[in-house]
Structure 1
Amino acid sequence: MSKCLLKADVRYLVALLALLGIITLFLILAPMKDVFLLPRTKYGLVFDAGSTHTALYIYQWPADKENDTGIVNQVETCAVPGPGISSYADNPALAGASLKPCLDKAMTIIPAKLQRDTPTYLGATAGMRLLREQNSTKAEQVFAEVVKAIRQYPVDFRGAQILTGNEEGSFGWITVNYLLETLVKFSFAEKWEHPQATEVLGALDLGGASTQITFQPGGTIEDKNTSVLFRLYGTNYSLYTHSYLCYGQTQALKMLLAALREGSSSPQRILHPCYPKGYQENITTTDLYDSPCVPAPSTPSTAQVLTVTGTGDPVACRTAIQKLFNFTCGAHRTCGFNGIYQPPVQGQFFAFSGFYYTFHFLNLTGQQSLGHVNSTIWAFCNTTWKELVENFPEEKERLHMYCSFAVYILTLLLDGYKFDEHTWSSIHFSRKVANTDVGWTLGYMLNLTNMIPSETPQQGIALQRSMWMAATVTLFIMLFLCFWLFTAICHQRKLVSYETF
């Protein structure tokens, strides 16, 4: 073909090939270049509708990162006024109205142009689980009102639900390990990576109506009802998790009070060994027996006023609290309490919510020894009400309950979850990590928005390969067309030469 080409044709061919080379090079290098755009921010809202109160958590993250999974930060927390939504069973409209001050606050934080793209969730825990057991119709009415209230705001509302106990424990575990970067870590190369040789931490949660324990055991989980499997960023996690309904600190101490009344010589007068000496209060039987956790006596009676008097006896307090549990394991070789299977605790643990707040008040969140913890609690429980009020005037509303809370936590962790003097040091009492509250809400949002994918994203690699293939095919086609074009030109010139001849 080259013999029939003129010099001009050769120049055209060279120019065309150069152009094809530039185009191909651009296609190859394009996916390797960073595209600089203005940073985008996304927001997320999660209501934690607990048994005693509701809180709104406002999260944000940079959306220009890989798979829209930039590091999540907590922007703000808003405490919803009033009690938990389950308390509005007889007036459900108030449950919805109670959420509005915090929603209004969120609208001042999230830019208006981003509000309609803000995923919003409400998760209810043990308080609503108990109400559903007690009266499912009232539970549905409360939920209908909170949904109606949230839908009045310009957000991407994705639903309200009652979490199971295992979900509550599992999402708390995800939150802990996400914040501590044991699941995924954002590298200097601005990519999420699974950290190598990093152990995950267990999660210990104590609410008002339930308590959860979640951890990765050393062996096989024998009871599948306590097993949950997560695949996060290409790594499988087989977790043990269990939630004990009625063993949150509020409900447990109601059970304690009912048990003390049952053992009292006078049903109207209760001597309480966990309350400080010199403290006295009146409660009604209606308030005491208002939960499925505390069944009313078999012989019903009209509402009565009960007088509760503190005796400040920590030994009797611990004995009374231990009677709330059944520590016999039955058919299980290893168990927690009440016959529930539990493998031996293993690894480090994060203890938050009620565990943290009580121990923080007693200044016991600094990894002190079990001996020091015991002596501190015993000394506090032996302090009279008069001395406590003088020392802690700002805590007067809950001050009489801290001995009960502390002894209950010790009993739950040591006798219930089977920590001992050797494993006690593995428990870290904490409220926040990196200015973000530890609890189930962040893990819940991360899971529902798929911000921790089950597999490592391969989108960038796939795109790069596809561009290479497109560039190669394009070059091949263009070269074929060039070859065909100049072959045709040569053939035409030969015919002209023959005709001239």
Structure 2
Amino acid sequence: MDKPCFKPVLLGITLLAIACMTVIALVLTVAKHQTVDLPYSTQYGIVFDAGSTHTSLFLYQWPGNKENNTGIVSQKLTCDVKGDGISSYVTNPPDAGQSLKECIDVAMTAIPPSQLSTTPVYLGATAGMRLLMLENQTQAERILAEVTKAIQSYPFDFRGARILTGMEEGAYGWITINYLLEGFIKYAFDGRWVHPKSGKIQGALDLGGASAQISFTPKDPVKDPGSAFDLQLYGYRYQLYTYSYLCYGKDQALKMLQAYLHMAARPSSVVQHPCYHRNYSLTLKLGELYNSPCVVKPLPFDPALKVTFLGTGDSQLCLSLMKSIINLTDCSFYPDCGFNGVYQPPVNGEFFAFSAYFYTFNFLGLAPRTPLPRVLATIESYCNKTWDTLVLEYPKVKETYLRDYCGSAHYIMTILLKGFKFNDSWDQIYFYKQAEDNDIGWTLGYMLNLTNLISSDRPLVITGVQHSQWAAEVFFIVFVLFLSILILIVLCAWGPKH
């Protein structure tokens, strides 16, 4: 006799299975499946600017994610190293390394101890060391070895000490300015970082102690490959014209003027100096005057002999003599030349002038921007003052600064107007030290470029499963349960009779 299929049991099983399917599908459907971003962790980087007259430490920080492969970097602190630039330690290289330690200690207190070992440190030396490398390569390399030893004694991720090329120095200064002024990327109202379609790209004018740099994006492609610098930031490519005039920084230019005046006055040991104020005198040994590869020693040469410069306070003659230390005539790329026969396309757009440009013009009350006639009148008035008057007016300013502001100002006007050809675009130059609370210089641009080598540390943690995955799971479970019920019904209805 066949056993009947118990329909009430079958019905109960079916209803239970359907209920289970419904609950499981509902739970999977309403469950929140999302990606959770781990919090940003701040990263740090240190750059030493080892210039010709002094060294500064810059500590930068940025969130542990990147925008289009470039970090969002800001300046956290700066520290000026005591003493002169590292190239001045030619007779005692170990002291160059020791001089950095006080500022390194300051930086260490600003970085969490757990991140010291992952904080990259770079030292970039500029024109002072470029000159020393030409004059005494062995001592230059010893100085770099000593600063390397000093930094490596700290628990940082030291990435090296090197001498930057003039082109690098100019290009990184240009990057710094345009980054700070949001020419590359800006924070939009909706909370996104976007590339400004109409963002202005500024030019950069940097005047150091031993070199001068000009960098900008010309209207037309750069004709001389030797002065073209191609780079990519935030997913966009730029072609930059940049050139560094070694020996034409402020200090070296004034030294070349001294040497020019001395050679013209030989054999006299008393030389009239129109850029020095009346009643001012300066006595130097020839060894001090001709201690740079930027000036040619007279023959015969006795470094112990002395020369005395007497100030005459002749502003117009001072300006005229500045043209004698730069070459404004030879140009194989005519008319596209700066000075000394160097190719330069016509200047384009607005420019930020910093370093010695700013310090000189700020002292004279001409920063950030002043009409050209007033600039010329202010320099003329300052140069024609007597030394006694200046000392009374500025009792707290160092003697060397007061003495050199006249010559520096006339040198600046010479290279800007006659050299770089800003005659018709003077009002496009702005003289600044900082932008958005960050110092303008090459170090921030250097750090920005190097963040392309620092990986993002913002990993994604997946909670639950992704949308496509849980949709497939719902379908699979429902299908299996449905197939199981169908098989059960078939077996019950068509199974063998006993």
Q: TM-score, normalised by structure 1?
A: 0.90
Partner Cα separation in structure 2 for residue 302 and residue 118 of structure 1: 46
User: Are residues 146 and 77 of structure 1, via their aligned partners in 2, closer, same or farther at CA, if it must alter by over 3 Å?
Assistant: same
The residue type paired with residue 19 of structure 1 is: V
Q: Give yes or no for contact 2:14–2:485 (8 Å, CA) kept in 1.
A: no
Q: Give yes or no for contact 1:66–1:191 (8 Å, CA) kept in 2.
A: no
SS of the residue corresponding to residue 452 of structure 2 reads coil
Tell me how many residue pairs correspond in the alignment: 485
Partner Cα separation in structure 2 for residue 145 and residue 280 of structure 1: 38
Q: Deviations over 1:296-325 (max 9, x none)?
A: 124333521111111111121112110111
Deviation of residue 168 (structure 1)?
A: 0.4
Partner Cα separation in structure 1 for residue 38 and residue 465 of structure 2: 25
For residue 280 of structure 2, what is the aligned residue in structure 1? 279
User: Are residues 288 and 18 of structure 1, via their aligned partners in 2, closer, same or farther at CA, if it must alter by over 3 Å?
Assistant: same
For residue 220 of structure 1, what is the aligned residue in structure 2? 221
Q: Give yes or no for contact 1:253–1:404 (8 Å, CA) kept in 2.
A: yes
Deviation of residue 172 (structure 1)?
A: 0.4
For residue 378 of structure 1, what is the aligned residue in structure 2? 380
Q: Give yes or no for contact 1:5–1:490 (8 Å, CA) kept in 2.
A: no
Among candidates 14, 29, 33, match of residue 22 of structure 2: 14
The residue type paired with residue 324 of structure 1 is: I
Partner Cα separation in structure 2 for residue 365 and residue 198 of structure 1: 24
For residue 490 of structure 2, what is the aligned residue in structure 1? 494
How do 1:405-484 and structure 2 match up within 5 A?
405-420=408-423, 422-450=424-452, 470-484=466-480
- Greater relative contact order structure (CA < 8 Å, 6+ sep): 2
For residue 291 of structure 2, what is the aligned residue in structure 1? 290
Q: Cα RMSD between the aligned structures?
A: 2.7
Partner Cα separation in structure 2 for residue 265 and residue 90 of structure 1: 31
The residue type paired with residue 163 of structure 2 is: I
For residue 402 of structure 1, what is the aligned residue in structure 2? 405
SS of the residue corresponding to residue 6 of structure 1 reads helix
The residue type paired with residue 369 of structure 1 is: P
SS of the residue corresponding to residue 322 of structure 2 reads helix
Q: Give yes or no for contact 1:132–1:139 (8 Å, CA) kept in 2.
A: yes
Deviation of residue 106 (structure 1)?
A: 1.4
For residue 390 of structure 2, what is the aligned residue in structure 1? 388
Partner Cα separation in structure 2 for residue 350 and residue 449 of structure 1: 24
For residue 170 of structure 2, what is the aligned residue in structure 1? 169
Partner Cα separation in structure 2 for residue 345 and residue 319 of structure 1: 24
For structure 1, the 5+ residue unaligned runs are none
For residue 242 of structure 2, what is the aligned residue in structure 1? 241
Partner Cα separation in structure 2 for residue 497 and residue 243 of structure 1: 94
Q: Deviations over 1:377-421 (max 9, x none)?
A: 01111111111111111124221111110000000100111101x
Q: Deviations over 1:8-56 (max 9, x none)?
A: 1111121222233234xx33xx14xx7584x643332111000011011
User: Are residues 36 and 94 of structure 1, via their aligned partners in 2, closer, same or farther at CA, if it must alter by over 3 Å?
Assistant: closer
Q: Deviations over 1:112-157 (max 9, x none)?
A: 2332232221111001111111122211110111011011112222
How do 1:42-57 and structure 2 match up within 5 A?
42-57=43-58
SS of the residue corresponding to residue 76 of structure 1 reads strand
For residue 355 of structure 1, what is the aligned residue in structure 2? 357
Q: Give yes or no for contact 2:70–2:449 (8 Å, CA) kept in 1.
A: no
Partner Cα separation in structure 2 for residue 55 and residue 374 of structure 1: 32
Q: Deviations over 1:67-122 (max 9, x none)?
A: 89775332322111111001112211000000011111112222323322322211
SS of the residue corresponding to residue 95 of structure 2 reads helix
Partner Cα separation in structure 1 for residue 93 and residue 71 of structure 2: 38
Partner Cα separation in structure 1 for residue 199 and residue 187 of structure 2: 14
Deviation of residue 6 (structure 1)?
A: 1.2
Partner Cα separation in structure 1 for residue 295 and residue 73 of structure 2: 40
For residue 115 of structure 2, what is the aligned residue in structure 1? 114
Q: Give yes or no for contact 1:271–1:309 (8 Å, CA) kept in 2.
A: yes
User: Are residues 302 and 480 of structure 1, via their aligned partners in 2, closer, same or farther at CA, if it must alter by over 3 Å?
Assistant: closer
Q: TM-score, normalised by structure 2?
A: 0.91
Deviation of residue 470 (structure 1)?
A: 4.4
Q: Deviations over 1:151-183 (max 9, x none)?
A: 111222222111110110110011101111111
Partner Cα separation in structure 2 for residue 224 and residue 209 of structure 1: 24
Q: Give yes or no for contact 1:446–1:452 (8 Å, CA) kept in 2.
A: no
Q: Give yes or no for contact 1:281–1:309 (8 Å, CA) kept in 2.
A: yes
User: Are residues 152 and 424 of structure 1, via their aligned partners in 2, closer, same or farther at CA, if it must alter by over 3 Å?
Assistant: same
Q: Give yes or no for contact 1:63–1:69 (8 Å, CA) kept in 2.
A: no
For residue 60 of structure 1, what is the aligned residue in structure 2? 61
Partner Cα separation in structure 2 for residue 480 and residue 376 of structure 1: 85
How do 1:254-333 and structure 2 match up within 5 A?
254-333=255-334
Q: Give yes or no for contact 2:56–2:81 (8 Å, CA) kept in 1.
A: yes
The residue type paired with residue 400 of structure 1 is: R
SS of the residue corresponding to residue 495 of structure 2 reads helix
The residue type paired with residue 136 of structure 1 is: Q
Q: Deviations over 1:173-210 (max 9, x none)?
A: 11101111111112233332111211111000000000
User: Are residues 45 and 314 of structure 1, via their aligned partners in 2, closer, same or farther at CA, if it must alter by over 3 Å?
Assistant: same
Partner Cα separation in structure 2 for residue 370 and residue 227 of structure 1: 30
Partner Cα separation in structure 2 for residue 206 and residue 330 of structure 1: 23
Q: Give yes or no for contact 1:4–1:490 (8 Å, CA) kept in 2.
A: no
Residue 368 of structure 1 pairs with residue 376 of structure 2:
no
